[in-house]
Amino acid sequence: MVGYIVARRTAKTDQVGGWGLKRKRMGAKARSVDDWSRVSAPTVLGRVKGLQVLAAFALDPVGASGRHLMPLGQAVELTRLGTSKRRILFMWGPEYNRQFLLRSKTMRTSGLWPLKSPPGSAQRSLSYHPLKAYGPEQAAFYDLIDPFFNRSVIEQRSNDIRSMIVDEIERWQPGIHDFYELARRCMERVAFTLLFGVDESSRFNELSDRLHEYHRANWAYPAIAFPINLPGTPYHAGMRQAKALQRYLYSWMDEAEGNGGSKFVFQRLADGRRADGCPFARENKAGLVAMLSWLAYETTATALSWAVFLLAQHPAILADLVDELSAHDSAHDGDADRLLSLPLLDAVVKEAMRLIAPVPLISFRMAHAAAEEEEIAGQRFAPGSRFYVLPHLTHRLPDIYPAPDRFRPGRWFSSKPTAYEYLPFGGGQRRCPGFWLAMTNLKFALAALLERFRPVVPDRARIDRMYAVVTMPKNGLPLELVPRDRSIASRPSQSASGSIYDLFTPEPNRPVRH
Ligand code: HEM
């Protein structure tokens, strides 16, 4: 049970609005651990606030972290009632990001699929995957997946990647669509072709639909809050989805093995070894494939969706980007390297992921098996403690990003944040291995899309966000694709609404350079 919330004392502290809480401001420079020497005493009001914050965080972590945590500084701790030594620390800002991500040898992430279930169940084996590994086990996993996504592989295959993306986008029709669905189909084709070594669209659609449904079932709050395995309950639906997905992956694996391992990822898994030298068990292979497949398309589809949405809301920037792309060769052919290094295209992609971080928070747990307590931010944390690193809040620090809630790609021409000031792909030893693929996909997709269409947010559209590892559109992302040769009113939708608008303040007619 969580008892109270305290922020830690530092050289610069302020009282925060009557809660008896202290707030901490860390500069960009490292401070000594002595800054962290004392903890302010919790107040009764603090306890109430702690529980309130935790409840808000469980329902909407992105919104709650902005509202409740950000005003408190750059690190907030929740301490449990009673004698438990396990604590919860929320961190953001470059100094804490660096301290934590560089020393996370005993930290594992909380994984993708939170529903708890008994050992031996399909849900348990799908949800126990290498994101939950740490130390040598995690290193072995990195070695296993490196040949799929490392920089040189992606550079060598950039023309194939571009052809797939252009081919997908050429099938899109003008009109109002759920853009997120289109983006998923496009990104799934690239990711799965690289993973499985073949381009089989009907199968890919089925796999991504199953993964998508399974993922949503895992993040249905009633299923998390009431894990009751009775027919008709959301939890039961989640368990059913897990079994169906596992069966599906098994049948695919069996077929691939029967064919002499023609499917690339299955072959690597069959040949691969865990850190202890043992081969992967069947259920580990299915879990690994599910995890990799989901990460490889869904993260990028979400990032692409929000980037296009932000452009649609900022017509002047969209026009500047179209100019930059038009001055370049066509998105279909021409020099891929040049396209990938166009400055405004690069800045738009970075700025979109700053403002709506696809992975807004990274949740870690210190392994229960860790031998010793870890010192983080000057405090000792026991095995089992939880840590949240918050790119969403780091990306909103006004000292680093002036006017942080504005979509201003131009800021990237004059500033170059460090790896701990800008971390849409995480950082340190667990940094996302899909970085090169993701950036390549996003740039090719934007170029190919804008060569054919202008994205427009339809009047009275409602666009809500939800948190499920990534910040994804809750009920799809309605966007109108207007053929490029038709002139469109150069204004964003004034009548659209929804919780995505909490994350930025539109500024319709400001060009990139000002
Ligand atoms: C815009 C797209 C993407 C974003 C924003 C993103 C973000 C992230 C972040 C923040 C992490 C760190 C989690 C942690 O610290 O444990 C991560 C890890 C990971 N990502 Fe990505 N990612 C993207 C695309 C991809 C792609 C295309 C792949 C391809 C397979 C991928 C595979 C992975 C894997 C396997 C990990 C786990 C690394 C580990 O902890 O061992 N990601 N990603």
Are residue 71 and residue 152 in the same domain, yes or no?
no
* C-beta of 194 in contact with ligand 1 (< 6 A): no
Closest ligand 1 atom, residue 423 Cα: 10
Residue nearest to atom 30 of ligand 1 (CA): 296
Are residue 393 and residue 466 in the same domain, yes or no?
yes
Are residue 254 and residue 310 in the same domain, yes or no?
yes
Residue 153 located in a structural domain? yes
pLDDT on residue 76: 85
Q: Which domain holds residue 23?
A: 2-84
Cα–ligand 1 centroid distance for 340 (angstroms): 20
Residue 134 located in a structural domain? yes
> Closest by alpha carbon to 65, among 393, 398, 483?
393
* C-beta of 394 in contact with ligand 1 (< 6 A): no
Are residue 54 and residue 183 in the same domain, yes or no?
no
* C-beta of 218 in contact with ligand 1 (< 6 A): no
Cα–ligand 1 centroid distance for 398 (angstroms): 26
Are residue 74 and residue 151 in the same domain, yes or no?
no
pLDDT on residue 3: 34
| Domain closes at, from 84, 111, 132 | 84
Tally of structural domains, the chain: 2
* C-beta of 434 in contact with ligand 1 (< 6 A): yes
| Domain closes at, from 33, 59, 84 | 84
Residue 208 located in a structural domain? yes
What CA–CA distances, in Å, run from 305 to 178, 424, 444?
10, 15, 14
pLDDT on residue 134: 79
Are residue 34 and residue 158 in the same domain, yes or no?
no
pLDDT on residue 130: 67
| Domain closes at, from 84, 106, 139 | 84
Cα–ligand 1 centroid distance for 224 (angstroms): 24
Are residue 243 and residue 348 in the same domain, yes or no?
yes
Are residue 204 and residue 59 in the same domain, yes or no?
no
Are residue 480 and residue 347 in the same domain, yes or no?
yes
Rounded distance between C-alpha atoms, residue 394 and residue 361, angstroms: 10
Residue nearest to atom 14 of ligand 1 (CA): 430
* C-beta of 438 in contact with ligand 1 (< 6 A): yes
pLDDT on residue 513: 58
What's 287's domain CATH number? 1.10.630.10
Phi, psi of 337 (to 5 degrees): -65, -40
Residue 114 located in a structural domain? no
* C-beta of 300 in contact with ligand 1 (< 6 A): yes
The number of beta carbons lying within 10 Å of the beta carbon of residue 438 is 25
Residue 79 located in a structural domain? yes
Residue 482 located in a structural domain? yes
Are residue 76 and residue 146 in the same domain, yes or no?
no
What CA–CA distances, in Å, run from 235 to 230, 238, 466?
8, 5, 19
pLDDT on residue 404: 97
Rounded distance between C-alpha atoms, residue 158 and residue 163, angstroms: 9
Residue 464 located in a structural domain? yes
Cα–ligand 1 centroid distance for 348 (angstroms): 20
pLDDT on residue 10: 34
Q: Which residues of the chain have pLDDT under 50?
A: 1-46, 82, 261, 514
As a dihedral over the C-alpha atoms of residue 387, residue 361, residue 465, residue 297, rounded to 10 degrees, the angle is -120
Instruction: Please indicate, yes or no, whether the overall pTM of this predicted structure exceeds 0.85.
Output: yes
pLDDT on residue 263: 59
Cα–ligand 1 centroid distance for 421 (angstroms): 17
pLDDT on residue 490: 60
Residue 101 located in a structural domain? no
